[in-house]
Amino acid sequence: MGRVEDVRILPAEGRPAVPWSNGGGVTREVAVHPPGAGWDAFVWRVSLADVTRDGPYSPLSGVRRILTVVDGDGLELTVDGTPHLLPGRHRPFSFSGAAATASRLLAGPVVNLNVMVREGRAAATVEMVRGSRAVAPGPGRDVLVVAVAGEVRLGTSGPRLARFDAALLTGGGADPGPVELRVDGVAAVIELIGRP
């Protein structure tokens, strides 16, 4: 495995479930920067949400969102009056958090992977990976890997991630070189750029 300044394993077990204010589901935070930041202070935030019914999303001015259905049969998002069909799983969809947004379940509950970044301070990409893939954290660029189906291994002898476990790789001040992921299933590889 390539040299990284920090690898934090973030197990799915024990993540607290926080109910939505509208009662439509619960959210479990995977990682946030700065660590421990609340809604008004985060630069980026990644979470998993169990969505159990149709309803509106809370507006988040100044935030860019990337939503990916990772369990269930998909949903329809209506963003500022325009419907977007997201059938099935593993298709990232980016939209403004400030937009008037509502979701409709296509066939029962879903689990969404939500990536939120503060516009002007951070940016993110989400790639769904099968097989093997090299990732490269570096100066000002963190990589969060979330196992969304099956198992993920970091390097040939590194830690294993079970479903919904995550690993945050931070490069620090120097280029640490790539880390090889071995994915038996599907992993979300989230690159987060622009930490303060």
Task: Note the pLDDT tens digit of each residue in 23-33.
Answer: 778 999 999 99
How far apart, in whole angstroms, are the C-alpha atoms of residue 69 and residue 114? 9
Q: Find the domain containing 34 and state its range.
A: 18-118
Residue 169 lies in a domain: yes
Task: Note the pLDDT tens digit of each residue in 65-107.
Answer: 999 999 999 999 999 999 999 988 999 999 999 999 999 999 9
Give me the CATH number covering residue 144.
2.60.120.10
Q: What is the pLDDT of residue 2?
A: 45
Quote the pTM value. Answer: 0.92
Inform me whether the pLDDT recorded for 6 exceeds 80: no
| Among candidate residues 69, 84, 118, the one where a domain is terminated | 118
Residue 1 lies in a domain: no
Express as a percent the part of the chain with pLDDT over 90: 73
Residue 109 lies in a domain: yes
Check whether residue 140 and residue 180 sit in a common domain. Answer: yes
Handedness of CA 166, 86, 49, 58 (dihedral sign): positive
Residue 168 lies in a domain: yes
Inform me whether the pLDDT recorded for 3 exceeds 70: no
